[in-house]
Structure 1
């Protein structure tokens, strides 16, 4: 059964993809798996940053 989760398609430069591919191999992952992890970490960091800003202004 196909996932009902939203999908995201991105286009990156060839050199960036090559680097991502090498990095993913080192981590025993595929480039999409690594990209998903990196995106999740970036989102968590941004949420934490925003939460900190809300506390400072309160």
Structure 2
């Protein structure tokens, strides 16, 4: 899933210098930036696998 969201991350600093950015976080966007924000263990594991695969793909 690809979602566009304006949020407070360091991504804006990179974009200001002309770099494209992608911010990846585990969990459901509906739970993000809430007072009781959380993600489930399986969501974390899925995010971990995503990052592992991204790194492996970039290193090929």
Q: Normalized against structure 2, the TM-score is what?
A: 0.37
Considering Cα pairs closer than 8 Å and 6+ residues apart, tell me whether 1 or 2 has the greater RCO.
2
